[in-house]
Amino acid sequence: MKQSEFKELDKHINILGWLHIGLNVLTLCIGVFVFFILIGAGLLSADGEAMSILAVVGTFVMGILVVVSIPGILAGWGLLKRKSWARILALVIAFFSLMNFPLGTILGVYTIWALLAHDEATNYFLAYGS
């Protein structure tokens, strides 16, 4: 691998790591925000049944968003640490992210391009031996 190719791929891996972490932390924040909005709406309604339903829905939405974002945060951390498993995890997440228009689509396309279009990407992660 030429030094210039190594530096370019290294730059893309760093950007990908931070983008995966950032987008998925944003998803976590949205989940917490939705949870509190729904709980607040239930409290403001002063209806016991509405409070219960909105609490369940808020918890469910937050739980789904937490479950969806944790693998993305792990993939971002793994990419920053140059772990070979992170490349595979990031690619799997990228394919699922393509449906999440517009930010997920952009991140998914960039991840697939950076980790599959560069022939040296496999050797790059193998060089770190993790």
Which residue ranges make up each domain of the chain? 3-128
**CA triplet 100, 115, 88: central angle to 5 degrees?**
75
Query: Which residues, other chains included, contact 106 with Cβ-Cβ below 8 Å and sequence gap of 6+?
Result: none
Per-residue pLDDT 10s for the chain (130 aa) are 566 667 888 899 999 999 999 999 999 999 999 999 999 999 998 888 999 999 999 999 999 999 999 999 999 999 999 898 999 999 999 999 999 899 999 999 999 999 888 767 777 776 766 5
> Among candidates 74, 85, 61, 68, which has minimal Cα distance to 20?
74
Instruction: Say what the pTM is.
Output: 0.86
Q: How far apart are CA 84 and CA 127, in angstroms?
A: 10
